[in-house]
Structure 1
């Protein structure tokens, strides 16, 4: 007879919980240190041996100092990607340039993608097409590498991690091209708006211009990094108050007191690039290098690339349920609920409009029928009055004939009576 103790003995003290479950952990007390504290250091050494990648795209009109700013940002003399005679460029050109920067044993593979010719033509309708094609191409190349037999090997990451979008310091808010470009780019990459040539505005003008830009960004529902990715980025609360960043770039280094600083020299004084009272350059560099470099890469992969990959797979007929392991399930559910709610509202509005149109058509039809009936009624009344007048005339004729007949009869009777007498 099989007893419970026999069954437990056959299953063992710790039975197999199944392929998708883990057994409950058991606490153990160490009698001597094992050296677990060295694991983070070992991980740090191993990660430090490999190089890190950062791909930045610079977008903005010519003459905003983009190249000078990139030299200032990385504190290096980055060669110009294209010569200065780009004002006659008929189309927007995409020119990636690769660099290696090393600091304290950490190697950064830097790729800067410039977009000369952007916003320089009178017809700017197609300025954004080459930029979007380049971004999508990098996503597609990464997706192709994932399907390669050597998928487990390191995939070269050429995807754009951030777009520094330079805005002219006009003080009047976003231009139509800027609003359209930011709206489209923010759906594909991490966009960081930058106000160029901050030294052309006073402190009050910069504050006012930032306020106008923030209103425009909210009005056009433009997602910017890191403001729109609060759940994916930590430690940026202090930096958020400086967005959009107003920056200054300079290749000149002069001595100010006992230190060498990058600055721009004018007759009325010196504007220091790294002075927080003059520009937000320090905060932008801290965002890109110190705080959010890893977050930029992670957000690109987990948010933008997964969205692009999911759209490609869905376009090929892949069921949504299969993609739940690829995309964020919760965000997908919320997005589906929001989309269904919008579709329901749109259908209700369409049905209401259709009902209103049908009611109006029915009212117009009834109004026409009422007018026709009123016209027919008036016609019948007129005809009836005509018949009534005719009958009355005939009745008068009959009465006259009867009267004349009676008069004739009376006359004959009187004559007969007179003869008899």
Structure 2
């Protein structure tokens, strides 16, 4: 009986798997329970948590990267008390600095990874190697912490969430070094391209330079955030039109109206950092802090770290898992379904085209056969008409002979009667 029941109900009650909940049955409440307070409880708990953001700054020297970072976070990112040693121009140094920013009860642990020495030496062939090694090292440390047998409530996240790549405002497109660096970095981390020192370009030059860079990004297959992450971001559609961002940095304050603003003052006028007519600084800050901070962390974990982890597991011989407890099971199943669907649609279209072709060929054959039959019918009708004419002529000839024969017979009979009399 159980086997017969199983065969009868096969597929109606599938196993949800070890990491899925079965479908719940909805119920109607007879009295309030206070469920509306749950989002508030969640908000209060999340607000007490410490948020993290790890930014890497990459670009040539002299583009105002340090000044820009001070401007971006409305503070002075102080150097260590000890004087900084001069870095070598032969290699790129990786210098992470850690800060704690507090605003309205929300704490942000900020890590700024500077890369002094990038693009400074004559030989720039290996400038990108230390940067890639640092990014991979943070991924590997996070992966090691995940696999640790001991219980760990929170894993320290030192992975690079975004790279702010500064491009010199030349107006002539990407340099070869920038193109190679952006293409390599975009495969491992979220890359946000910035046009440095936007006050050196006119409004028309900014638009032209942006179009040139976007064309270069497409030509070199460079993925930028958030343009190439439509499934990972939410609410950043209006910011896409400003990529790449033209930015300005300044430590100087000036009184404009009734408020102090960051600006750069020249003999010909003043350039305000947060003026949208002068730069895209406001849109960049909105992208980083107000709209896509969580999206940066999520895409780092779900896209780049997941790819690094998968590559690391495949390198030691682990096959592609199809277990329901594997974190890539759903994506594999969806991908398989989609590929099967596309394959079935392709086969259906091929069968339909073959059917249409065979029908057309059959119609042509039937039409030719019909024409042949019509031609044969016309020939037979013409032949019958000839036979009819011949028969009518012969019949007429027979009738004439019969009439001649009757006349001859009558004349003979008349002569015999005359003799008899």
TM exceeds 0.5?
yes
Q: Is the alpha carbon distance of 1:78 and 1:332 closer, same or farther for their aligned partners in structure 2, counting shifts above 3 Å? A: farther
Q: Is the alpha carbon distance of 1:252 and 1:148 closer, same or farther for their aligned partners in structure 2, counting shifts above 3 Å? A: same
Q: Is the alpha carbon distance of 1:332 and 1:220 closer, same or farther for their aligned partners in structure 2, counting shifts above 3 Å? A: farther
Which residue of structure 2 aligns with residue 72 of structure 1?
71
SS of the residue 2:321 aligns to = helix
Higher mean alpha-carbon deviation, 60-69 vs 316-325, is at: 316-325
Residue deviations 1:238-277 (CA, integer Å, cap 9, x gap): 1000000000000011111111100000011110000000
Which residue of structure 2 aligns with residue 56 of structure 1?
55
Residue deviations 1:38-97 (CA, integer Å, cap 9, x gap): 111111111111100000000000000000000000000102479788575221000000
On the 8 A contact 1:17/1:23 being kept in 2, the answer is no
How far residue 22 of structure 1 moved from its aligned partner, in angstroms, is 5.6
How far apart, in 2, do the equivalents of 1:195 and 1:334 lie?
42
Q: Is the alpha carbon distance of 1:317 and 1:332 closer, same or farther for their aligned partners in structure 2, counting shifts above 3 Å? A: farther
SS of the residue 2:242 aligns to = coil
SS of the residue 1:101 aligns to = strand
Which residue of structure 1 aligns with residue 114 of structure 2?
114
Which residue of structure 2 aligns with residue 34 of structure 1?
33
How far residue 326 of structure 1 moved from its aligned partner, in angstroms, is 3.2
Residue deviations 1:103-133 (CA, integer Å, cap 9, x gap): 1100000000000000001110000000000
Paired residues, number: 326
On the 8 A contact 1:60/1:167 being kept in 2, the answer is yes
How far apart, in 2, do the equivalents of 1:152 and 1:329 lie?
29
How far residue 150 of structure 1 moved from its aligned partner, in angstroms, is 3.0
RMSD value over aligned CA atoms?
Answer: 2.7
Residue deviations 1:133-184 (CA, integer Å, cap 9, x gap): 0000000000000111235420000000000000000000000000000000
Q: Which runs of 5+ in 1 are unaligned?
A: 8-15, 338-421
Q: Is the alpha carbon distance of 1:56 and 1:316 closer, same or farther for their aligned partners in structure 2, counting shifts above 3 Å? A: same
How far apart, in 1, do the equivalents of 2:52 and 2:152 lie?
18
On the 8 A contact 1:263/1:271 being kept in 2, the answer is yes
SS of the residue 1:63 aligns to = coil
On the 8 A contact 2:174/2:213 being kept in 1, the answer is yes
Which residue of structure 2 aligns with residue 258 of structure 1?
258
Which residue of structure 2 aligns with residue 342 of structure 1?
none
How far apart, in 2, do the equivalents of 1:157 and 1:25 lie?
35
Query: With structure 2 as the length reference, what TM-score do the two structures score?
Result: 0.73
On the 8 A contact 1:128/1:181 being kept in 2, the answer is yes
Q: Which runs of 5+ in 2 are unaligned?
A: 6-12, 341-421
Higher mean alpha-carbon deviation, 327-336 vs 68-77, is at: 327-336
